[in-house]
Structure 1
Amino acid sequence: MNFKGSTLGVITIVLMLPFWSSGQDLRKQIMGAQRRVMKEVKRTNRDAKKVKKMFGSSKKTVDSSSDTADIITWSKAPYIPNSGMIHDYDYIYTFFHAQQEYSFKNDRSLKDIEWDSVENVFYNNIGAHDSIDTKYEVIGWHPYWMEDAYKYYNYDLLTMLSLYSYDIDPLTGKNRNPSMVKQAVEDSVAKFIKQQNPNVKVLLSITSFGSENNEMFLASREAQNQFIEELLSIMIDGNFDGVDVNFEQIPVLYGDFFNFFIKKLSTQLQNGGYSLILDVPYFNDENTFNYAELKYFVTYFNIMGYDFSGEHSDFPGSVAPLNALTNQPSLETCVNDFLNLGIDGGHIILSLPLYGVTWDIKDMKIGQSAYLESLPYYEIISTYDTEYNPNFDPISASFFYLMNDAESSKICWFENETSLDIKYDWIKSKNLRGVGLWAMGYSQGSIDIWQGISKSFGVDSLVKTEPIKSSLSGPYGLALSIHNNKKIIGLGFLIFVGFLVVGFVYALTDWRVRDALFVNQSFRVIYSMIFMILSIFGLQYFLILTPQWAIVLGVLVGSLGVVLINMFFSHNRRKLR
Structure 2
Amino acid sequence: MDNKWYFDIAPGAVDDLKAHAKDITTLIPFWYGVKEDGTLADMSSNEVKKIASDNNLPLYPIIHNYSDPKKSQLIHDLLSSTTLRDTLIASIRDMAVANNYPGINIDFEFVPPEDRSNLNTFLENLYTSLKAVGKIVTISVPAELSDNPQHPFSGAFQYSFIAQNADQIYILAYDEHFSQPGPIASIGFVTNVLNYAVTVIPPEKIWLGMAVYGYDWTEGINYPRTLTYEQAVTLARNLGVTVIYDETAQESTYTYVLDGKTHTVWFEDSRSFSAKLSLVDRYKLSGIAIWRLGQEDPAIWNILKER
TM-score (norm 1): 0.48
Whether 1:139 and 2:23 are equivalent positions in the alignment is: no
CA distance in 2 between partners of 1:370 and 1:279 (Å):
25
Pairwise CA distance, 1:168? 0.6
- d(CA) in 2 for partners of 1:289 and 1:259? 8
Residues 439-463 of structure 1 deviation map (CA, whole Å, 9 limit, x = unaligned): 10223xx5312112223xx3xxxxx
**1:152 match:** 18
Select the residue among 384, 401, 413 that pairs with 2:236.
Answer: 384
> 1:140-182: per-residue Cα shift (whole Å, max 9, x none)?
011134573464241232111011031111x211224x3x13x
Identity %: 19
The residue aligned with 2:152 is none
Q: Secondary structure at the match of 1:320?
A: coil
> Comparing both structures, which one devotes a greater share of its residues to helix?
1
Q: 1:238 to 1:441 in 2, by over 3 A?
A: farther
2:274 maps to a residue whose letter is D
Where in structure 2 are the equivalents of 1:453-464 lying within 5 Å? Answer: 453-455=304-306, 458=307
Letter in 2 for 1:161: L
Superposition pairs for residues 62-81 of structure 1, below 5 Å? none
Where do residues 98-109 of structure 1 align in structure 2 (5 Å cutoff)?
none
Q: Partner residue of 2:157? A: 289
What's the counterpart of residue 215 of structure 1?
Answer: 76
Q: Matched residues in 1 for 2:136 and 2:156: separation?
A: 23
Q: Give the deviation of 1:405 after TM superposition.
A: 6.5
In 2, distance between residues paired with 1:238 and 1:436? 22
Aligned residue for 1:172?
37
Instruction: Name the residue aligned to 1:104.
Output: none
What RMSD, in angstroms, separates the aligned Cα atoms of the two structures?
2.2
1:358 aligns with 2:219: no
Deviations 1:523-562 (A, max 9, x none): xxxxxxxxxxxxxxxxxxxxxxxxxxxxxxxxxxxxxxxx
CA shift for structure 1 position 262 = 0.6
Q: Does 1:452 align with 2:303?
A: yes
Tell me if structure 1 keeps the 8 A contact 2:14–2:48.
Answer: no
| Residue of structure 2 in register with 1:410 after alignment | 263
In the alignment, what sits opposite 1:373?
225
Q: Would you say the 8 A contact 2:6–2:291 is kept in 1?
A: yes
In 2, Cα distance between the equivalents of 1:251 and 1:405? 38
SS in structure 2 at match of 1:253: helix
Instruction: Answer whether contact 1:244 1:278 (CA < 8 A) is retained.
Output: yes
8 Å Cα contact 2:214-2:265 kept in structure 1: yes
Q: Matched residues in 2 for 1:175 and 1:267: separation?
A: 20
Equivalent of residue 346 in structure 1, options 204, 209, 212: 204
Cα 1:153–1:161 change in 2 (3 A) is: farther
Residue 214 of structure 1 and its aligned partner are, at CA, apart by: 1.8
Mapped partners of 1:239, 1:156: distance in 2: 20
User: Residues 18 and 51 of structure 2 are in contact (CA less than 8 Å); yes or no, is this contact kept in structure 1?
Assistant: no
Letter in 1 for 2:304: I
> For the structure 1 residues 346 and 244, does the alpha-carbon distance in structure 2 shift closer, same or farther, using more than 3 Å as the test?
same
Unaligned runs of 5+ in 2: 150-154
C-alpha contact 1:403 1:409 (8 A) present in aligned 2: yes
| Partner of residue 184, structure 2 | 319
**Residues 191 and 239, structure 1, Cα contact 8 Å, conserved in 2:** no
Contact (CA 8 Å) 1:356, 1:377: kept in 2 or not? yes
Residue 395 (structure 1) shift: 2.0
Superposition deviation, residue 375 in structure 1: 1.4
1:189 to 39, 42, 48: 48
- C-alpha displacement of 1:265: 0.8
Q: CA deviation at 1:285?
A: 4.2
Paired with 1:382 and 1:289, the residues of 2 have a C-alpha distance of 38
Question: Which contiguous aligned blocks of 4+ residues in structure 1 show a shift greater than 4 angstroms?
Answer: none
Assess, with a 3 A threshold, how the Cα gap between structure 1 residues 150 and 266 changes in structure 2: closer, same or farther. Answer: farther
The aligned counterpart of 1:538 is none
Q: Is the 8 A contact 1:281 1:304 kept in 2?
A: yes
Rounded to whole Å, the distance in 2 between the matches of 1:237 and 1:417 is: 38
Q: Distance in 2 between matches of 1:190 and 1:307?
A: 30
- Please state if 1:234 is matched with 2:95: yes
For residue 195 of structure 2, what is the aligned residue in structure 1?
Answer: 336
**Does the 8 Å contact 1:190/1:238 carry over to 2?**
no
Question: Within 5 Å, which residues of 2 pair with 1:377-526?
Answer: 377-386=229-238, 387-404=240-257, 407-443=260-296, 446-455=297-306, 458=307
Given residue 155 of structure 1, which amino acid in structure 2 is its aligned partner? A
Which residue in the other structure is 2:62 paired with? 205
Partner of 1:274: 135
Q: Residue 150 and residue 167 in structure 1: after superposition, are their counterparts in 2 closer, same or farther (change >3 A)?
A: farther
Aligned residue pairs, count: 294
Larger radius of gyration: 1
SS of aligned partner of 1:334: helix
- 1:305 and 2:166 matched: no
Contact 1:316 1:369 in 2 (8 A): no
* Distance (Å, rounded) in 2 between the aligned partners of 1:332 and 1:220: 37
1:554 alignment counterpart: none
Question: Given that residues 155 and 193 in structure 1 are in contact (C-alpha distance below 8 angstroms), is that contact kept between their aligned partners in structure 2?
Answer: yes
